[in-house]
A and B are shown apart, each in its own frame.
Chain A
Amino acid sequence: MNNPDGSIAIQFSNVTYRTADGRPLLAHLNLQVLTGETLVLLGRSGSGKTTTLKLINNLLACQEGQVIVEGKSTNDWDPIRLRRHIGYAIQEVGLFPHMNVEKNVALVPQLEGWAAEKIHGRVEELLALVGLPPAEFRRRYPHQLSGGQRQRVGLARALAADPPILLMDEPFGALDPVTRADIQREFKALQQRMHKTVVFVTHDVREAMFLGNRIAVLEKGALQGVYSPTEFLQSKDPVVAEYANVLRSEMEFMQEVRKASR
């Protein structure tokens, strides 16, 4: 992280989000994301992680409280400007099926009216950055890529216009563990150079520990707490302890396996 003055990029103040029929999906959420940090939103399926993320780029609007991005409430941002200011990468459907890799990655710069040569250069640079040789992949369509390659393209696309903020919704889900570990490592190295403000959604504890400067735990639409990786492991909070126990028992199991094989 590179944020000596501790400035705040995103702030949730007392945010409640309800569905059309009045059921609250998020209740009284207070959370700050510091400029340049990677904040992981960790929680079970249905705990409200995606909902939280969509409140940041105004795909959803909360009924109570406010979400403040770079000092301005999302209600006061022009939604188009806000979204182009924020990179967005999601799992599965992420890429447009009718556009090849180059067009997908070039999309936001194009919407922003960059010159063709500048876009071309940027696409080459990004594809190389995420480990896809441009000459080989530029013209391929999403259905001609493996899951891991698609997620790399999704990452390149989110980075295309160099937005200061990145929202990532389980961007490395549905990958085999080896590929997943690779791409996590690359992303971490990348982030150590980029210093973007990243909000990263996952339900994988190990991913959260590995990538997060801080981990925000969501449970049934409420914030359970925000922890550094060390605090996370030591927390007495029952919900958090459960996650930590998963890690601990995995580690114990590995040690047993190792002992047995000696």
Chain B
Amino acid sequence: MNLVQFFAAHWSEIMRSAFEHIRMVMIAMLLAAGTGIPLGIFATRWRSLRAPVLGISNMIQTIPSLALFGFLLPVPWLAERSSRLAIVALALYSLLPIVRNTYAGIMGVDPAVREVGRGMGMTGAQLLWRVEMPLAMSTILAGIRVATVIAVGVATIAAAIGAGGLGEFVFRGVAMVDNQFILAGAIPAAVLALTADFTLGLLQKRLQRHN
């Protein structure tokens, strides 16, 4: 059986895993953006938060991904469902690029532009939402883009704790020493990563147009 025939024979299973994979990554990214962007913003507002926020997200990323899954296993609510655990682990793992780019994007806004905003009588919140965030948006999106590509890859490891996704094929292939199984997981995962990278790249370019 060649690879094409293998893909045809396992098509519905591959698609199901791919959707599991996408679902995991998307929820994790929403979670990561939902916490990472506010954390990045807080770090720009309160200097004392800068070091701990950036330090902790940096530290999380240095943990090997398999170990991070393992560390979370004893956490009560998370361990009830393996996909839940996987999503939280992925989100934690994606925090650093999002927090760092949010921080850098806002801090990178020309101080003179910020001062003009203040001079026109904007409140802190108006300055943030009307000036700083729009100008930082393409940098923030670049962080989300990096985080997404990494998460697509790391999500294959989630199969190790039974969370499903394309990793299942990879792990089965490794166990059976069968390259076709490995490729049935690896190729769709690569396609997903490239597609995410390309789409978010387009979005980023659109945002950059006027800056």
Contact = CB atoms under 8 A, between A and B. Distances in A.
Tell me if chain B binds chain A: yes
Contacts of B203: none
B25 to A, nearest CB: 29
A98 B209 CA distance: 9
Contact of B135 (A80, A94, A97, A108): A97
A24 B2 CA distance: 81
Contacts, number: 52
Given A96-B131, A143-B210, A83 B120 contact: yes
B116 A94 contact: yes
Given A93-B110, A96-B113, A98-B135, A141 B210 contact: yes
B210 A88 contact: no
Interface string B169-188: 00000000000000000000
A1 to B, nearest CB: 25
A90 interface: yes
Query: Do most interface residues of chain A lie in helix, strand or loop, or is the interface mixed?
Result: helix
A12 B56 CA distance: 49
B51 interface: no
26 contacts: A54-B119, A57-B119, A59-B119, A79-B121, A80-B121, A80-B122, A81-B121, A83-B119, A90-B116, A90-B119, A93-B112, A96-B116, A96-B117, A96-B131, A97-B113, A97-B210, A98-B131, A98-B210, A108-B120, A108-B121, A111-B120, A111-B121, A111-B122, A111-B126, A141-B210, A143-B210
In the A-B complex, the 7 residue pairs with the smallest Cβ-Cβ separation, listed nearest first, are: A83-B121, A84-B121, A88-B119, A93-B112, A98-B134, A141-B210, A80-B121
Interface of B: 110, 112-113, 115-123, 126, 130-131, 134-135, 210-211
